[in-house]
Amino acid sequence: MVLHRDVKSRNVLLSSSLDAKLCDFGISRRKCSGNATAAAGTLSWTAPELLLGEECSEKVDIYSLGVLLSELDTCTLPYHDLNSLSERLVQHPLRLMRRIIDDGLRPQLSSDCPLPITHLIAACVSRNPKLRPSAADVGAWLVSARGERLLRKKL
């Protein structure tokens, strides 16, 4: 199994038929150990265990997928709302990292995000990797939610 370790919107390409393709496998690994995490991921999309240099699994990519799904919901980058004069977390990566790890900070969702997708995103960005769904479970969840109005905004 390959761990991508940098799943984010910039690393997803869409074909002319709107099929999503993951790209940029530059920091991917077959196995992820604590000492292999130093240069992994882009902060806003990175799972807490990867930020802490802990042992990790394919669940780091599930966490990042949850953040990416929040982007699709809000049409904004994660934590964009924390860029106020008082916070400026986006410009201070260590503060943002501490909020993600210590305070359980997660991306905001829109008020009209379909409930099944809200639940999926919450499961994907769980602090505990064991509580995150598998990739197969995410796929099944999305298929079952297909009847919901998933695309509300024109991108």
Taking each helix axis from N to C terminus, what angle separates 115-124 and 59-74, rounded to the nearest 10 degrees?
A: 140
Stretch (H or E) spanning 22:
strand 20-22
- Residue 13, CB half-sphere, CA atoms under 13 Å: how many? 7
Ordered alpha helix ranges (H), 15-148: 48-51, 59-74, 93-102, 115-124, 135-144
Taking each helix axis from N to C terminus, what angle separates 135-144 and 115-124, rounded to the nearest 10 degrees?
A: 170
Q: Is 19 a catalytic site residue?
A: no
CA-based torsion, 106, 155, 117, 16: positive or negative: negative
Q: Which of 6, 19, 24, 103 is the catalytic position?
A: 6
Which whole-number Å values give the CA distances from 33 to 37, 42, 48, 51, in the listed order? 7, 18, 14, 12
Which active-site residues does the annotation give?
6
